[in-house]
Amino acid sequence: MKIFKTTKTTKEYLKNNKNETIGFVPTMGALHDGHLSLIKQSKEQNDITIVSIFVNPTQFLDGEDIDKYPHKPQADEKICEIAKVDVLFVPNEKKIYFDQETKLFAPSIKAYILEGYDRPGHFDGVLQVVNKLLNIVKPTFVYFGKKDAQQLYLVKNMVEEFFLDVSVVACETIREANGLAKSSRNTYLSKEDTLKALQISKALNIAIKYVQKGEYDAATIKTKISKQLKNLYIYYVEIVDKNFNYIDKIEINNTIVLVAVNINNTRLIDNIWL
């Protein structure tokens, strides 16, 4: 596995691999099985797989502690090596950002609801860095998890609007055997917190059952979910279509049910696609 720390070395290496398809998995490290499933899918579909690890400062808001973000460089490197990643790109901040630079603003409505409502500006930072990374790596396919559904939607749109020559692949959420969606943030949870967090997937499964029984009223489904989460601090329980418009009626194959809660100062998100 090649490890590159600069955009220059990464670009030079890729220039010499002109005829091969490149699969790209952008991450902020603290890799887990969710990332591994993206890597696996990339390896199946491409000649070369590149993983980037960059804890992007611009997607953290003032007051959000970037230094608290889990940082496991050695373990991450080992995981990538075992997964037979071809290139690990680990740039430092100065190699990615410039002193005075052009800013990218995510579309105001879709980026300032849900996650963007509680974290205004977060998606500006996400798009800024993803745009840069895509321009450095110039992948054939880029892999994102459906768990970060709003991020996935906004990245897909940016790729279309900026005419970027890459296909965005949406990958299924990977869960623990107990249903908890895999997330780097799960490392913050104590045993007791984890037990509380299990309510989230339980609530979403209850929603699936109601929909299977023919209940398509969004307000009713949201109430059922909120009831199950009654002991947690809820940021939102919302139902949108795949373009992130709020909807009143669930439409099969065009609905995402999203939940965000706070457990002991850890923000956890999850969703189901119906």
- The catalytic site residues sit at 35
Nearer to ligand PAF, 142 or 200 (CB): 142
What token pair was written down for 80?
């990538």
Q: Which of 10, 56, 183, 255 binds ligand PAF (CB under 6 A)?
A: 56
- Name which of residues 139 to 198 contact ligand PAF (CB under 6 A): 148, 151
Q: Strand pairing partners for 236?
A: 260
Per CB under 6 A, the segment of 25-33, 79-87, 105-113, 159-167 that binds ligand PAF is 25-33
Q: Say how many residues touch ligand PAF, by CB under 6 A.
A: 10
C-beta of residue 245 within 8 angstroms of C-beta of residue 219: no
27 near ligand PAF (CB under 6 A):
yes
DSSP type of residue 66: G
DSSP state at residue 249: B
DSSP annotation of 241 reads: -
Q: Is-contact 104 19, C-beta < 8 A?
A: no
If one asks whether residue 271 binds ligand PAF (CB under 6 A), the answer comes out as no
**Which one of 14, 28, 272, 274 is in contact with ligand PAF (CB under 6 A)?**
28
- Candidates 29, 106, 104, 11; CA nearest to 72 is 29
Q: How far is the CB of 11 from ligand PAF (least distance, A)?
A: 19
Neighbours of 140 (CB within 10 A): 18
Q: Cα angle at 168 between 73 and 37, to 5 degrees?
A: 45
The residue range among 23-31, 99-107, 113-121, 253-261 that interacts with ligand PAF, by the rule CB under 6 A, is 23-31
To the nearest whole angstrom, how small is the minimum distance from the Cβ of residue 220 to ligand PAF?
Answer: 32
Residues lying near ligand PAF in the complex (CB under 6 A) are found at 26-28, 56, 59, 126, 129-130, 148, 151
